[in-house]
Amino acid sequence: MKQLLLVFIGGGTGSILRYLVGKFLNNSETGIPYGTFTANILGSLLIGIILGLAAKNENLTQDHTLLLATGFCGGFTTFSTFAYENHIFLKSGDFTSFAFYTIASFIFGFLAVFAGIYLIKFI
């Protein structure tokens, strides 16, 4: 039960922060979802750092990892919103934004995870 509560608290906190990032960064004039992109890339970097720390020196317990990686990062990042925003691009015929957003999200997301893990090697 404690583990479920940790994931719940982390997920709720991450979701609130994602909402705020989207509210302030998503551009309603151009339709470009900068907020979702930012949340997904920052979340990818953060999960790389968290899991890198957990693997490196075992200072993070399983409970810490559940709270931060599974809960917070899971709530902060969002594949469903990413997929919906791409649906909107396709529906409107904006294939350039669809391609750029999808490719950039995958490339920068993967790079952010690897960067987070790599940075931990120097701490």
pLDDT of residue 123: 79
* Domain boundaries, given as residue ranges, for the chain: 1-24+32-121
74 is in an annotated binding site: yes
Please state, in angstroms and rounded to a whole number, the distance separating the CA atoms of residues 119 and 123. 7
In percent, how much of the chain has pLDDT > 90? 80
Please state, in angstroms and rounded to a whole number, the distance separating the CA atoms of residues 85 and 102. 10
For residue 122, what are the CA distances in angstroms to 53, 68, 115, 118?
11, 21, 11, 8
48 is in an annotated binding site: no
Q: What is the pLDDT of residues 33-79, one digit of tens each?
A: 999 999 999 999 999 999 999 888 877 899 999 999 999 999 999 89
Radius of gyration of the chain (CA): 16
